[in-house]
Chains A and B, each alone.
Chain A
Amino acid sequence: MGDPRLASRLKEVRTAAGLTQVELAALAGVSRKTVNTVENGVFVPSTILALSLAKALGTTVEELFWLAD
């Protein structure tokens, strides 16, 4: 499910926003384990999920995810 090419700072942005995984999951309309597995890099989110997470955190997808070198 994971892909080493995908880098993420979802966890950093979430904690900086003062949100728990449960709170972010509720804002994005997904389960906590979805947020958990995306943060841990074991699940690559779809475009829609990435946009939902970015919207919930008030940022852009590029700020959350990028291609690792």
Chain B
Amino acid sequence: MSEDDHDPEAEYRALIRLEHDRQRRTLLAALPLAFGAPALVVVFGVVIAGLAQGVWLWVTIAGGLVAVGVTAWGAIQLNAANPDDQTLALAKRTDWIDEAQRARVYGMLYTCILAFIFIPLGLSAAGDMVSGEGNAVRAPTALVALLIPMMQILMLTGRDGGITKKMRKYLDDEHTQVLRARACGTGLAVAMIAAGGAYLIGLWRAEVAVVLMLPVLFLGSYAAVIHYGLLERKAERGG
């Protein structure tokens, strides 16, 4: 389509029509990914750290298998929600500010992939340390894992460095700030609930509560980043 016969109204209606089904699929994928993926990380960490033993180990493993299934189903739904060529062609009309903001969202989502590696390792290291088996190798692992949720929140709130003042102005426009506030609210709510659970467990086994602080922080930052990504995706489509 040339710029001369470009019809914004028809294009907009076509985009909405094309994306309607994909929005539904994305929402379907969001729930299992939001719960399944972090549950998988926590289960993996709990098993590696040896926090569950006996029958509880098998219960934890069974829970992990359920989390694998739920996460896989969410991933299949998300893959099915990928935009087609026509939608991608329409998306290319967006300007560079949109491109920069989109790249930033992808950057945040990539940290979630890092989390799937470092959070279980960090949980394992933290488990060793609270049980008195920590050493010079395990301690840095526990600290590096702590940096993942910190980094996610810094990126989400626009407090990470390496960006010029002008670029910051465009990346942190008022629409982004509104989405950011909503996402941070979600992250805070999730972190509060998770911290409450860790506190209750801590009444029974204080050392486990200390180890659980890492997944508590991760769940909060993960929820905030995923919610922000979904809000950005929705805003791209005018919702």
CA distance A52 to B53 in the complex (A): 62
CB distance from B8 to the nearest CB of A (A): 5
Residue B13 at the A interface, CB < 8 A?
Answer: no
Chain A interface residue bracket vs B? 20 to 34
Comparing B31-39, B95-103, B136-144, B149-157, the segment that makes contact with chain A is B95-103
Of all chain A residues, which has the CB nearest B237?
A36
CA distance A15 to B175 in the complex (A): 22
Chain B interface residue bracket vs A? 20 to 34
Q: A-B contact count, CB below 8 Å?
A: 67
Contact status of A36 and B238, CB under 8 A, knowing A15-B8, A30-B173? yes
On chain B, the residues within 8 Å of A34 by CB distance are 173-175
Residue A6 at the B interface, CB < 8 A?
Answer: no
On chain B, the residues within 8 Å of A30 by CB distance are 97, 173, 175
Residue B160 at the A interface, CB < 8 A?
Answer: no
Contact pick for A37, options B93, B95, B101, B238, CB 8 Å = B238
On chain B, the residues within 8 Å of A40 by CB distance are 238-239
Instruction: Decide if A31 touches B238 in the complex (CB within 8 Å).
Output: no
Contact pick for A22, options B9, B93, B170, B173, CB 8 Å = B93
On chain A, the residues within 8 Å of B239 by CB distance are 37, 40, 42
Instruction: Decide if A31 touches B6 in the complex (CB within 8 Å).
Output: no
Residue B21 at the A interface, CB < 8 A?
Answer: no
Residues of B within 8 A of A (CB): 6, 8-9, 12, 93-95, 97-98, 101, 170, 173-176, 178, 182, 232, 235-239
3 tightest CB-CB pairs across the interface, nearest first? A34-B175, A31-B97, A36-B238
